[in-house]
Structure 1
Amino acid sequence: MNATPTHEIVVLGAGYTGMMATVRLAHRTRRLPVHITLVNPSERFTERLRSHQIATGQELADLRIPEALADTGVDFRRAWATAIDTAAHRVTLDDGTELPYDTLIYALGSSADTDRVPGATEHAWTMNTPQFARGFAGQLAALAEAGGTVTVVGAGLTGIEAATEIADSHPGVTVTMIGTGEPGAMMGPKARAYLVRALDRFGINRRVGAQVVKVLPDAVELDTGEILPSDLILWTAGVRAPALAAAAGIDTDAQGAIVTDATLRSVSHPDVYAVGDAASVRQPWGHIHGTCQSGMPIAAYVADTVARRLRGKEVKPFRFGYIHQPVSLGRKDGVIQFTRGDDTPGPWYLTGRAAVRYKEFVSSSPWPTFRLSRRISIPAKFSTGARAAARAAKATA
């Protein structure tokens, strides 16, 4: 009697979504003939929710991926994926080896897009990797002694957290934040007013409605023609997914994220699933933007969906709704805007110490979730987005 062939699953990327998909899938398929390989260039887990802390010189916990995978049966490969052959169902690694797959889970995330503006790649720092963030931190520490200037390009949540962390940890530095929109524009008026007061308290300069068109070694040029001198430039504006999927002929959107169907499979290659920032996911109320808040439920859903399909069971479309916009304002302050499912602000918000505790809980929760998911299936969906979907349907009726 022939044995049932092993179903090979390869997961690319061990960030929040890659880890969640891997450990949950290992638990869900433990009694099936399934072999899972997780590929990541580092054994150390990167807490991207804390990148602004790394960028100001703070040391984080040393979390090791193989430890979280203990007793799961998952093979961990420390490597970069350099190519995907969708016809041969193989992934090529930077050491020249090839991994065959029956199912591929693409969890390579995204990074700050410095390609759109001349000089940004050469002269601006990013927090795309811990190494880049630590490099910025080294420059910042030297600059702080002389009392220099730092420009943060981007006024989204990442830019806000970076700017306030820099101002809080290095009060001698002059910080300017440049953005096309108001900081905290997505929040309700009360939470936004609190955020603005915090920026004022830190002495952070804001250039609202401005766009950087060129980055120089010691300055940025705005679309108005103005030149703003700066000793250090931190780029947080815009994101882009890796080019690996597009190079393989997989359908992607303008940012390089894989376009998915209702069950988060690639619309062009159904044996490829995309999770997190590397996935272009639409809901009845709109497009999901990349956050850990959405990424973890996406990853959990994909793990459950792959397991169900391997058992020959039907799956339901992915549904998601947001619940909050948590923002750190340095180490001792924060603001949390609670939201409706479509990420529009609701009436409730938190500030001050309560917000700090809430944000710390959010930031620290993924790692214990991974460890618990090796043995139990933790509910990962905070909201189905049903109310947001109903509003969207009503608006288009």
Structure 2
Amino acid sequence: MKNRIIVLGAGYSGAIAAGRLAKRLRRDDVTITLVNAEPDFVERVRMHQLAVGQELKPRPLDEMFAGTGVEVKLAKVTSIDVDGKSVTVQGAEGAAELSYDTLVYALGSAGNDHGVPGVTEYAHQIASRPGALRLRERLTGMTEGETVLVVGGGLTGLEFVTEVAEARPDLDIALATRAELGDWLSPKGRAHLRKVVDRLGITVHENATVAAVGADQVTTSDGRTLPAAVTVWTTGFAAHPLAASTSLELADDGRIVVDGTMRSVSHPDVYAIGDAGHALGAGDKPLRMSCASGTPMAWQAADSIAARLTGGKLPNAPLRYFNQCISLGRKEGLIQFVTADDRAVDRALTGRFAARYKELVCKGAAWGVANPTMGMPVRRRRVVASRPASEGTARVAA
């Protein structure tokens, strides 16, 4: 019998994993089903561009996976029975139950409100395409001098606040960050960031932890009131809640605990990648939720699944960071080089060259979805067990 592989979620991690599995394994031996609620692959790293009115290239999943052997199923995942090894989905034709032998959980994350009152009711987010489009519509209707307040001084907040300041110089753009601006960057990185922010006329409220969001203002924990005709909430991500309804072992942040092969430590038939997986990188530090983490996690999971099914050698590639790539509008960028465990070092690239570098990274990430083996030759190997074998029991077919 064919081994039934189901991949949940077609973001960067899920799409890459599905395509890489298709190139690692023979169609006679496996079925690969990619389940996603939307028909298009969404470039999440470009949602700040979409929100300010830029058009993005459509990337239909059925076209991307045409001829690969991957079946794309458009449906929303409603429940998972990891003990019974089945997934329930809701699609255009109603509810359906899909059975699996190997499950790749890549349902990603959403914006994290951290329990702050008023965020759900009044704040916009750009962690998803629908959220970015709603914000886009709201920005279109804003008039000169109105205030857009971005809450959160991390990578997402910096990219959006500079993008909107460049695109809408008629608006009053402000940023509220709970620490100092770019406090995690190198001195060179911080200096360049400050230079760009000042040039774009962005008001920065430092050491401002937002305690409540209202219809036209936010309140900080130290009692300050900051005006905001529009509040954009960019304070990190929260794992998709579906895993919490299963018996999978989870970390405190709701992510699925996995080993170095991205395999669940509690359910060996389940792999979790991208923002859904709690994996350890250099220095045994958990990988942060990001495309930079999700792509190598997808490679690791796909190659591990293929190795276990064919009796091949398990991958042992270290998961580490090299740099943080930050766009600061369309004309400026910042490439902050980091240690393996994601701490800033003295080296950084700035200016237009850094902007072009970041653009190449974004294009490369999208290319990697359609070309999951990164152009390297791949030999499809025969599956020697119709169901996933335990460690050390599979053998390569002659």
CA, structure 1 residues 291+217, in 2 after alignment: closer, same or farther (shift >3 Å)?
Answer: same
Post-superposition CA distance 1:187-214 (Å, at most 9, x none): 2111111011111111111122221111
Q: Which amino acid in the other structure matches residue 165 of structure 2?
A: A
What displacement does 1:57 show?
Answer: 1.2
Q: Which amino acid in the other structure matches residue 74 of structure 1?
A: V
Unaligned runs of 5+ in 1: 380-397
What displacement does 1:247 show?
Answer: 0.5
Q: Secondary structure at the match of 1:75?
A: strand
CA distance in 2, matches of 1:283, 1:374: 22
Q: 2:65 aligns with which of 62, 69, 72?
A: 69
Give the equivalent residue in structure 2 for 1:385.
Answer: none
Q: Secondary structure at the match of 2:34?
A: strand
* Worse-superposed segment, 16-25 or 218-227: 218-227
Give the equivalent residue in structure 1 for 2:354.
Answer: 355
1:19 paired with 2:35, answer no
Give the equivalent residue in structure 2 for 1:256.
Answer: 254
What displacement does 1:255 show?
Answer: 2.3
Identity among equivalent pairs (%): 41
CA, structure 1 residues 273+368, in 2 after alignment: closer, same or farther (shift >3 Å)?
Answer: same
What displacement does 1:252 show?
Answer: 1.6
CA distance in 2, matches of 1:51, 1:44: 14
Trace 1:1-397 onto structure 2 (pairs within 5 A).
5-30=1-26, 33-94=29-90, 95-114=94-113, 116-143=115-142, 145-285=143-283, 286-317=285-316, 319-373=318-372, 376-377=375-376
The answer to whether the 8 Å contact 1:154/1:177 transfers is yes
CA distance in 1, matches of 2:230, 2:6: 40
The answer to whether the 8 Å contact 1:263/1:318 transfers is no
CA, structure 1 residues 284+368, in 2 after alignment: closer, same or farther (shift >3 Å)?
Answer: closer
Q: Secondary structure at the match of 1:80?
A: strand
CA distance in 1, matches of 2:72, 2:315: 30
CA, structure 1 residues 33+292, in 2 after alignment: closer, same or farther (shift >3 Å)?
Answer: same
Q: CA RMSD in A?
A: 1.7
What displacement does 1:226 show?
Answer: 2.0
**What number of residue pairs does the alignment pair up?**
374
The answer to whether the 8 Å contact 1:112/1:128 transfers is yes
What displacement does 1:369 show?
Answer: 2.3
The normalised TM-score by structure 2 is 0.90
Post-superposition CA distance 1:268-327 (Å, at most 9, x none): 111110111111111341121022112111101110000000012342455211111111
The answer to whether the 8 Å contact 1:127/1:133 transfers is yes
* Worse-superposed segment, 43-52 or 181-190: 181-190
Q: Which amino acid in the other structure matches residue 24 of structure 2?
A: R
Unaligned runs of 5+ in 2: 379-398
The answer to whether the 8 Å contact 2:303/2:315 transfers is no
CA distance in 2, matches of 1:82, 1:31: 28
Q: Secondary structure at the match of 1:36?
A: strand
The answer to whether the 8 Å contact 1:24/1:374 transfers is yes
* Worse-superposed segment, 279-288 or 119-128: 279-288
Q: Which amino acid in the other structure matches residue 153 of structure 1?
A: V
CA distance in 2, matches of 1:88, 1:298: 25
The answer to whether the 8 Å contact 2:6/2:34 transfers is yes
* Worse-superposed segment, 39-48 or 335-344: 335-344
